[in-house]
Amino acid sequence: MRNVSLAIPDDVYFEISSLPNKETTLNAKLQLIFAIGMFVSHEVSLSKAAQLAGLNLVDFMETLKIRGIPSVIYTEGMYLEDMDSISKPTRNLIDEACGMLKSDGHAVDRFMASKRIEKELEYGN
């Protein structure tokens, strides 16, 4: 592991130092901020970001959740690929459920709806 030096303006230093995080040291806070930034900008994977933050994967995912940052990116393209690989009757049920949701690009909402329908079909509920 390499150490790096970072020059921070006094006002930013004060703000970061006073952040209400469970991290106790400025170094830990900066590590977390850096890791989140790298993950959100798609520079590193989820597991690599957790490692950068000095957290295990579950704790890092919980940290993201608390901050309102999704830890799983499910794109519209992924959704369409999944839809191509399932049967027509199931796809029709999912499309019907998705029509009830906002159709403004929220693939995760559609994904969650599709998972609920798949479970219902699987267990006959």
Whether 24 has a pLDDT exceeding 80, the answer reads no
Give residue 62's pLDDT. 92
Other beta carbons within 10 angstroms of residue 48's beta carbon come to 13
- Residue 114 banded pLDDT, cuts 50, 70, 90: low
Q: What is the pTM of this model?
A: 0.56
Tokens of 123: 């267990």
Residue 79's nearest CA partner among 39, 116, 106, 45 is: 106
Residue 48's nearest CA partner among 62, 65, 34 is: 34
Q: Looking at per-residue confidence, does 7 or 97 come out higher?
A: 7
